[in-house]
Structure 1
C-alpha cells in the first residue's frame, strides 16, 4: 500500500467522522448510510483499475471499521450537549429566583428552550448563554451567585432594575465576559476583587449605585479594559496609581464619589484615554505639570474638588474639547496660553479664586461655545476681542470685579444666547450694539454702575425671556419699546433712578412672570393694562411715587402669587384684590388706603404688617380701628344729613309704590347684550341632557345655598367651581364664570349648544347652562378624583399614588379626547388651554378633558388670531408667543408638557425652574431618566416604555410646529404601549440582538433616538411606531 493511498483512505475516514458527528447530532442515519456506500462503492473510484479498485475498497473498508469503532464514543458528545443545555436553563432559573420580579416580566422563563427567553441570547453553535440583557425591567432583588456558572457569558446588562445587595464574587468566574453594565441600581458593598480575573473584560459600568470602599488596584490587571465608569457611588480612598498605566483605557468616569488624594504625575501614561472625569470628589493638590503630555484627552473635568495652586502653563498644550476646572481653589492669573487651545468648545474656570485680567488672546477661540469665568476675582476691562468668538453661545462673567465699559464689540456675537455681567463694577451706558445679538435669550447686568438710559433698541431682541438691569444708576423713562419683546418672562428694572409713568403698553407682555419696578422714582397711576398680564406671578412696584387706585383689573390675575405696592401714595381700598386666589404675599403698607380689609376669599391670611401705615384702613387684627369702641367718637353724619336721607328715602318709596300699582302689559323679552345687562331679564336655565335633574334656577340656588363658599371645590382662571347634589342625588359641577362675555346671549348660547352636542368618553360633557345678565353658570359632569394636577402636585391631598399603568391610561385618554376635538369635530375645535388642571379623573381614574369649545371653534380653512392671551404659563407653545396664532399643534405642545408632568411628577413651572428646560438639559447630559417620578420606578414593568414616552413628549414639544406629530399619531403610539399584543414565542422574535460593539456609555441616550420605537409584535403596531420616522431624531434637534 502506497503512502498516497493510505493518505487518501485516512482523508475519507476523516470525512466520515465529520459526517457522523453531524448526523448523530441531527439523528440523520440515512445520510450516514449514503456516505458509506459512496465511499465504499463505485462512485469512489470510477477510473481505477481492478487492483486499484480492490485496494480502494479495502482501505475504505478499514475507514468504515474505524468509524464504527468511534461511533460509541460520539454519542456521549450528543448527550453532553443536551446536559449542557439543561445546566444553562437551570442556572438561569436560579438567577431568576434572586429577582423579586414582582411584575412578572420574566413570565416566559419556562420550558426547555431557554434561548428564546426574554433577554437571553445564545451562541448559535454551542447553545451556551452568550448575553443577558435585562436592562430597565425593574426586576428588584439581588444578583444571584449562580451567574458565575455562565462560563460563556460575553455580555451582562442589568442596568436600571432597582437591584440591591452586593455584586457576587462569583462574577469573576464568568471568564468570557467582555461587557458588564450594572448601572442605575442600589448595589452596595465593595467592588469584588474577583473582577480582576475577567481578562477579556472591555467595559465595566457600575455608575449610580451605592458602592463603598476603595477602587481595587487589581483593575489595572485587566489588559483589555477600555471603559471604566464608577461615577455616582460612595467610593473612597485614592485613585489607584496603577490604573494610570493602562494604555488601553479610553474612558475613566469617577465623578460623584468621596475620592481623596491628588492627581498622580503618571496620569498621562494613559495614552489612549480621551475622557477623564473626577467631578464632585475631594481631590486636593495642584494639577500636575505633566498635564500637557496628555495629548489624547478630549474631555478633562476636574470641577468641584479641592484642587489648589495656579493653573499650569502646560495645560495649553492639551487639545481638549471640554476643560472644566470650576468650583476649586485655583489662584493666580488665567494662563494666556489657553487662547491657543483651538479645539475648545467648553471652557469653565468659574467659582475659583483666579485674579488678574481676562487675557485678550481668548478672542482667538473661534470654536468655543461656552465661556464660564464667573465667581472669581478678575479685574480690569472686558476685552473687546471676545467679540471675535464667533460661535459663542454662553458668556458668564458675573460676580467678579470687572470695570470699564461693556464693549460694543459684543454685538458681533450674533449666536449669543446668555450674557451675564452681573455683580461687577462696570460703568457707562448699555451699548446699542447689544441689540445685534439677535438670539440673546438672557441679559443680566444687575449690580453694576451703569448709567444713561435704557436703549429702546433692546426691542430687537425678540428671543429675550430674561432682562435684569436692576441695581444700577439708569435714568430716564421706561422705553415703551420694551413692550415689543413678546417672549419676555422676567423684567427687573428695580433699584435705579427711572422716572416717569409706567407705560400702559407693558400690558402686552403677555408671557411675563415677574415684573419688578421697585425703588425708582415712578409717578402716575398703576395702568389698568397690567390686568392683561394673565401669566404674571410676581409684581413689585414698591418704593415709588405711584398714586391713584389699585386697578380692578388686578383682580383678574389668577396666577399672581406676590404683590408689593408698599411705600407709594395709592388711595382707595383693597377690595379689587379679593379675587386673586393664588396671592400668598401682599404688602400695601404705607400708602393712603382707606376702608375695611375684607376677610372673604381667605384674605385674612395676610399679616397685619401688610397693611401698616394706612391710617384710614381698618381690618380684622387686634387694635384696628374697626374693632375700637365708638362711644366717645363724634358722629360721622350730622343730624341734618340724617333727616335729609330719611326724607329722600320716603320720596323714593312713594315713587316705587306708584310704579307698582300702575297697570302694565306683560314684558317683552329681547336678545340683550351681556355687556349691557337689563335688570328684568330672568335667569335662563337650559338642560342639554336628561340626566341633569335641575329643573329651575331656584333649585340651583337652594341646593347650593346661593352658591355658598362651602360648596366651592376649585378656582380657575375664569371661574369658580361648585359641587351641587342634584335631585336624583347625582353630583354636578357648577362653573360660575367671573366675567360676562362681550357678545350677545344668542351667540353665546349657540356656542354652548355646540359644545353640549359633543360627546366622547374622554371629554367632560356640558349638561346644561344658566345665563343671565347678572351671572352665567355652566353645568358639567362631576369627576370624583378631581384633576390630574391635584393628584400629581397637591401633596397630602393626593388620593392615590399613580402607578405607571394608570399614568399611561391617563395619557392615552387625554390624547383620545384631544384627537377627537382636532380631527372628528365639525367645525374642528382647538382647546387652547391643555394642562393637567383641565384633565379630570373619574372614579376609575379615566381621563376626561374639560374647558374646551367655548369661543374656540375654528373654520376648517382658517387659523384663529386673538389678542387675548390664551393658555397657561408653562404650557404655552413658544410659537404662539411669537406669532399669537393658534392651531392644533399648539395643543400638541401643551399636551407634551402634560406628558412630562406625568413622567416626572413635577410642575411645569416651579419657582424659577421650567420643566421643559430641565428635561432638555438632562437629555443633553444623558441623565433624563434621573427625573422619573419614584412612583413610576416602583411600579413600571419595563422602563423602556418610560423612555419611549419621554421621546413622545419631546416630539410633541419640538420648537417647530411642523415637526410635531398630530394627536391621531400620538394616540396610535400610546395605544400600542397600553394595549400591546401578546409576545410571539418563536426564538427568532424573542432572541435579543448581539451585544453591541459600540461602548454603551456612548449609547446611553441613543435609546431615546432610535427609529424602532416600539416592539409590538403585530405589523399594524409596527407601522404606527414608524410614524416617528418622519420627525427625525428627537434629542439632537429638539433645541433648534
Structure 2
C-alpha cells in the first residue's frame, strides 16, 4: 500500500512539473506572438509581464485548459491587428481553436501552424494574407473547420487537404487561387461545406463531385471554369446549395439536374444553351432558381408553375421565345420574377395578378403585345414593375392606384395611348415614373404634385399638351424631370425654380413661352435643355446658369445673352427699335386720347368724394389673404422677436448690418426649405440664420404660435430657437450655431473633406439624438413629433455632441394618439413605410427614421444612393448573417468590442420594423444606448431571474442568440455628463426581454 502511495505521489509531481513547464512556455509564446502584431488600438493591452505564471489565461482572447493551464483557444477576431502571424504560434501545441478573422494581418501563413496538431478550427478570414496555403496543414488531422476566405492567397489548392479526415468546412472564397480543383477533395467523406467563389480557378467540374455524400453547400461562383455540367450531377443528392454562376460553362443543362433537392440553383452568367429542362419543375425544394444571362432558347416550361415554394425566378438575359406561361401565376410564394431581355411574345397573362407576394416584376425588352392586365393591380406587395421596350398598347390601367407599395414604374418605349390617368397620383410611394416614348395624350394631371417621394419623372416623346402644372413645386424630392418632345405650352412655373434637389430638367422641343429666370434658384441643377421652344428674354449668367452650354438654349429666337454668341439679341433689339419708331406717332395720338379719358374719370371721382353721403362699412380686402400677406400691405418695418437672452441686445437692423443684408459670403448651407447663414454677434457668439424659401405661410398666427412653442423648449440635445423675424422681405429663424455642422456632412462629405468619426463618438451622437427625440415624445407638453428625423437634422457642436434640429415647426402633436395628414412629410430613405402608406403618423414614425440614422452611423452609407436602399441592404445582409461586412472602416479601426456594434445593428433593425407596434419607444432606445455608453456591469441576479420568469409566462418563441446580449445590458447610470437616462416605465429586465421577443419575430 505504501509503495502505491509513493507511486501516485511521484506521478502527481510529474504532472505538476509538466503543467508548470506548459505555463512558462505558453505565456512566453503568447508574448512572442504579440511582438509580430502591430496593435495600434492597444487591444492587447493586458498581454504583459513575463508570461511565467498562469495569469496569461485571463488575457484578452486567451482560453486555457482548466487543469494544465495550456492555451486551448486563441480568439483575437475583429481587433484591428496588423502585422504578421508569428511562427511561434506553432509552439502552442495544445491549441484547439485559432480565430484571427477580421483584422489587417498580412504576410504568409506560417508553416509552423501545422505543428498545432490538436487544432479543430482555424479561421484567418478577412485579412490581407498572401502567399500559398501551406502544405503543412495536411498534418492537422483533427481539423474540422478551415476558413481562409477574403484574403489575397495565391497558388493552387493543396491536394494534401484531402488528407484531413475530419474536415467539414473548407472556405477559400475571395482569394486569388488558381489552377484546378483537386480531384482528391471530392473523396472526403465528411466534407459538408465547400466555398471556392471569387477566385481564378480553371478546369472543369469533375464527375467525382457527387462523391461528397455529406456536402450540402457547393459554391464555385465567379471563377473561370469551363466545360459542361457532369451528367452525374443527379447523384449529388445531399446538395442544398449549388452555385456555378459567372463561369464559362457550356453545353445544355442536363436532364439529371432535376433529381437534385437543392434550395438554391444558380447557373447565371455562363454560356449554357438549349432549352430549360422541364424536369426542373419537379424540384419542389427550390427557393431560388437563377438561369439568367445564358444562351438558353425555346419556351419557358409551363411546369415551372408547380414550384410553389420558389421565391426568386431569374430567367432574364437569354433567348427564350414563346408566350409567358399563365401557370407562373400559381407560384404563390414568388417574390421576384425577372423575364426581361428575351424574345418573348404574346400577351401579359392576367394570371400573374395572383402573385400577391410579388415584389418585383421585370418584363422589359421583349416583344409583348396587347394591353396591360388590370389584374396586376392585385399584386399588393409589388415594389417594381418594368415593362420597358415592348409593344404594349391600350391605356395605363386606372386600377394601378391599388399598388400602394410600388416605387418603380417603367412602361417606356411601348405603344400606350390615352391620357395619363389621375389615379397615378395615388401611388404615393413612387420614386420613378417613366412613361417616355409612347403615344400618351392629354395634359399632365396637377395631382402628380402629390407624389412627394418622386425622384425621377420622364414623360418625354409623347403627345402631351397643356401647361406644366404649378403643383410640380410640391415634388420636394424630385431630381430628374424630362418632359421633352411633347406639345407643352405656357410658362415654366415659378414653383419649379424652387426645387432644391433638381439635377436634370429637359423641356426641349415643346411650345413653352416666357423666360428662364425662375430657374436661377435651382442651385443643384446640372443638366438643363430648353432648346426649340418659344422662350424670350435674357438668359442669366450667374449661379447655376454658368454650367450650361449655349446648346441648351438653341431654337429660341427671343432669348438673349452675351455668352450665347448669338446674333438674335442684336436682331431683336433692332427690330424693337424699328417697331418703336414706326409706331411713335400713333402712340402720341393714343396718349392724348387716353389722357383726356383719365381727366374725365378723375373729375367724376372728385365729385363722388366731395358729395355728402353716409360712409359705408368697408370690407377688409386682406381677409382672404394669408395673415402675413395682409400685413405686408401695411409696409411695416420687420421686427425681431427675441425668445432667449442671448440675442436680447439686438434688433433686426443689427442682424442685417452684421451680415451685409444676408450676403452670399455668409451662406453656410442650403436645405430643402431654407438657406442658412452665419452671423457673428458682437459678443463673439455665432448664431445660425435660416431664411425660409416660403415667404407666406398660410396662417401667420398659427406659425408664430408654433415658433413660440418651439422657443420655449430647452434640452441639451435640441437646437435652441433664439428668435425669429417674419416679414414680406423674408422669414428668418435664429438658432444656436453648431460648429461641426450636420451628421450628414461628417458621414458623407467628399473624401478630401471627410472627418474621421470613431466608435465612441458615434455612440455618443446616437445617444444624444435619441435623448433629444425622447424628450420631444415624452416630456414636452404638447408632445411633439419631429416628422423629418435624418442625419442632416442632427447637428454637432464643437464637442461633437448631438443636437436635434428642425423640430416642431411643421406640426405639434397634442393629446390624440395619432394624427392623420394628407401631406406625407419627411425625406426619401427615412420615411416610415406605414406612414407613407396610410398618412397616419405618431411617434413610432420618428423611431423608424431614427433607426435609419443608426444604420447611417454604423455603415457610413447614405439611406438612398445609386438606387440602393440602405435599409433593404442591411436586411438582406442580416438574412445572410453578414451584416458586419457593412460596418464603416472607421468603426472597425476604433471599436474594441465589435459586440457593441452588433447590438446597435440589432437596435437599428428593431427601430425600423415594418409594424409600428413592434418598434420600441425613444425612451427605451435611449436606455439601450445609455447602457453601451455608460456601462455599469451586468444586471443583478434578481433582474435576470425576473426576466426569465416573465419569459416563461409568455408563449414560447425561438429567440436568437443575441437576446442574451440584450438581457446582459443594464440601462441606467448616474447623472453623468452624458445624461445617462433612467426611465421608470419598465424594469431593465422587462425592457430587454421585450426587445428579445420583438427581435425574435421576422425582421420585417
Q: So what's the TM-score if we normalise by structure 1?
A: 0.86
CA contact (8 A) 2:406 2:429 kept: yes
| 2:389 matches 1:447 | yes
| Deviation sequence 1:756-780 (CA, Å, 0-9, x none) | 2222222111111122233211111
Q: How many angstroms apart in 2 are the aligned matches of 1:117 and 1:983? A: 20
Q: How many angstroms apart in 2 are the aligned matches of 1:381 and 1:222? A: 52
Q: How many angstroms apart in 1 are the aligned matches of 2:270 and 2:32? A: 49
Residues 620 and 239 (structure 1 numbering): CA distance in 2 closer, same or farther, change over 3 Å?
A: farther
Residues 69 and 214 (structure 1 numbering): CA distance in 2 closer, same or farther, change over 3 Å?
A: closer
Q: How many angstroms apart in 2 are the aligned matches of 1:251 and 1:170? A: 26
How do residues 62-141 of structure 1 correspond to structure 2 at under 5 angstroms? 63-64=1-2, 67-68=5-6, 71=9, 74-110=12-48, 112=53, 113-141=55-83
Equivalent of 1:372 in 306, 314, 320: 314
2:265 is matched with which residue?
Answer: 323
Equivalent of 2:417 in 470, 475, 490: 475
1:772 is matched with which residue?
Answer: 727
Q: How many angstroms apart in 2 are the aligned matches of 1:487 and 1:700? A: 42
Q: How many angstroms apart in 2 are the aligned matches of 1:401 and 1:66? A: 90
| 2:665 matches 1:710 | yes
What SS is found at the alignment partner of 2:640?
strand
Task: Measure how far apart 1:977 and its partner are.
Answer: 2.3
Q: How many angstroms apart in 2 are the aligned matches of 1:250 and 1:709? A: 66
How do residues 153-232 of structure 1 correspond to structure 2 at under 5 angstroms? 153-232=95-174
Residues 83 and 559 (structure 1 numbering): CA distance in 2 closer, same or farther, change over 3 Å?
A: same
Q: How many angstroms apart in 2 are the aligned matches of 1:777 and 1:432? A: 50
How do residues 109-508 of structure 1 correspond to structure 2 at under 5 angstroms? 109-110=47-48, 112=53, 113-508=55-450
Task: Measure how far apart 1:159 and its partner are.
Answer: 1.6
CA contact (8 A) 2:243 2:264 kept: yes
Residues 788 and 797 (structure 1 numbering): CA distance in 2 closer, same or farther, change over 3 Å?
A: farther
CA contact (8 A) 2:666 2:677 kept: yes
Q: How many angstroms apart in 2 are the aligned matches of 1:737 and 1:888? A: 26
Q: How many angstroms apart in 2 are the aligned matches of 1:1035 and 1:167? A: 40
Q: How many angstroms apart in 2 are the aligned matches of 1:620 and 1:1009? A: 67
1:949 is matched with which residue?
Answer: 904
Residues 414 and 505 (structure 1 numbering): CA distance in 2 closer, same or farther, change over 3 Å?
A: same
Gaps of 5+ in 2: 603-619, 940-958, 974-979
Q: How many angstroms apart in 1 are the aligned matches of 2:799 and 2:117? A: 52
Residues 76 and 803 (structure 1 numbering): CA distance in 2 closer, same or farther, change over 3 Å?
A: same
How do residues 522-561 of structure 1 correspond to structure 2 at under 5 angstroms? 522-561=464-503
CA contact (8 A) 2:357 2:379 kept: yes
CA contact (8 A) 1:689 1:768 kept: yes
Q: How many angstroms apart in 2 are the aligned matches of 1:468 and 1:731? A: 49
CA contact (8 A) 2:39 2:81 kept: yes
CA contact (8 A) 2:524 2:544 kept: no
| 2:843 matches 1:888 | yes
CA contact (8 A) 1:1011 1:1026 kept: no
Q: How many angstroms apart in 1 are the aligned matches of 2:699 and 2:685? A: 32
- Equivalences, count: 941
What SS is found at the alignment partner of 2:368?
strand
Task: Measure how far apart 1:118 and its partner are.
Answer: 2.2
| Deviates most, 155-164 or 513-522 | 155-164
2:708 is matched with which residue?
Answer: 753
Q: How many angstroms apart in 1 are the aligned matches of 2:572 and 2:362? A: 59
Residues 969 and 611 (structure 1 numbering): CA distance in 2 closer, same or farther, change over 3 Å?
A: same
CA contact (8 A) 2:817 2:842 kept: no
Task: Measure how far apart 1:569 and its partner are.
Answer: 0.6
Residues 870 and 70 (structure 1 numbering): CA distance in 2 closer, same or farther, change over 3 Å?
A: closer
Q: How many angstroms apart in 2 are the aligned matches of 1:199 and 1:953? A: 43
Q: How many angstroms apart in 2 are the aligned matches of 1:902 and 1:272? A: 42
What SS is found at the alignment partner of 1:593?
strand
Q: How many angstroms apart in 1 are the aligned matches of 2:256 and 2:503? A: 53
| Deviates most, 145-154 or 674-683 | 674-683
What SS is found at the alignment partner of 2:63?
strand
What SS is found at the alignment partner of 1:315?
helix
Equivalent of 1:687 in 636, 642, 646: 642
| Deviates most, 222-231 or 814-823 | 814-823
Task: Measure how far apart 1:66 and its partner are.
Answer: 5.0
CA contact (8 A) 1:411 1:436 kept: yes
Q: How many angstroms apart in 2 are the aligned matches of 1:673 and 1:484? A: 32
Task: Measure how far apart 1:940 and its partner are.
Answer: 2.7
Relative contact order higher in (CA < 8 Å, ≥ 6 apart):
1
Residues 1013 and 142 (structure 1 numbering): CA distance in 2 closer, same or farther, change over 3 Å?
A: farther
| Deviates most, 321-330 or 364-373 | 364-373
CA contact (8 A) 1:604 1:620 kept: no
CA contact (8 A) 1:619 1:625 kept: no
Q: How many angstroms apart in 1 are the aligned matches of 2:141 and 2:306? A: 46
Equivalent of 2:809 in 845, 854, 858: 854
Task: Measure how far apart 1:69 and its partner are.
Answer: 7.1
| Deviates most, 800-809 or 223-232 | 800-809
2:831 is matched with which residue?
Answer: 876
What SS is found at the alignment partner of 1:399?
coil
Q: Which has the larger radius of gyration?
A: 1
1:987 is matched with which residue?
Answer: none
| Deviates most, 397-406 or 894-903 | 894-903
| Deviates most, 916-925 or 359-368 | 916-925
CA contact (8 A) 2:851 2:912 kept: yes
1:927 is matched with which residue?
Answer: 882
CA contact (8 A) 1:474 1:497 kept: yes
What SS is found at the alignment partner of 1:674?
helix
Q: How many angstroms apart in 2 are the aligned matches of 1:225 and 1:968? A: 49
1:906 is matched with which residue?
Answer: 861
Q: How many angstroms apart in 1 are the aligned matches of 2:151 and 2:573? A: 75
What SS is found at the alignment partner of 2:763?
helix
Task: Measure how far apart 1:286 and its partner are.
Answer: 0.5
CA contact (8 A) 2:117 2:142 kept: yes
| Deviation sequence 1:88-107 (CA, Å, 0-9, x none) | 22222222222222222222
CA contact (8 A) 1:367 1:389 kept: yes
Task: Measure how far apart 1:576 and its partner are.
Answer: 2.4
CA contact (8 A) 1:165 1:186 kept: yes
| 2:628 matches 1:674 | yes
2:820 is matched with which residue?
Answer: 865
Q: How many angstroms apart in 2 are the aligned matches of 1:253 and 1:1019? A: 45
RMSD value, Cα: 2.8
2:949 is matched with which residue?
Answer: none
| Deviation sequence 1:962-992 (CA, Å, 0-9, x none) | 11222222222222222334899xxxxxxxx
Residues 982 and 67 (structure 1 numbering): CA distance in 2 closer, same or farther, change over 3 Å?
A: same
Q: How many angstroms apart in 1 are the aligned matches of 2:843 and 2:231? A: 60
| Deviates most, 66-75 or 354-363 | 66-75
2:610 is matched with which residue?
Answer: none
Task: Measure how far apart 1:399 and its partner are.
Answer: 0.1
What SS is found at the alignment partner of 2:925?
helix
Q: How many angstroms apart in 2 are the aligned matches of 1:631 and 1:355? A: 66
Q: How many angstroms apart in 2 are the aligned matches of 1:69 and 1:395? A: 77
CA contact (8 A) 1:284 1:307 kept: yes
| Deviation sequence 1:19-43 (CA, Å, 0-9, x none) | xxxxxxxxxxxxxxxxxxxxxxxxx
2:994 is matched with which residue?
Answer: 1030
What SS is found at the alignment partner of 1:498?
strand
| 2:664 matches 1:722 | no
CA contact (8 A) 2:928 2:971 kept: no
Gaps of 5+ in 1: 1-62, 656-667, 985-1005
Q: How many angstroms apart in 1 are the aligned matches of 2:692 and 2:907? A: 35
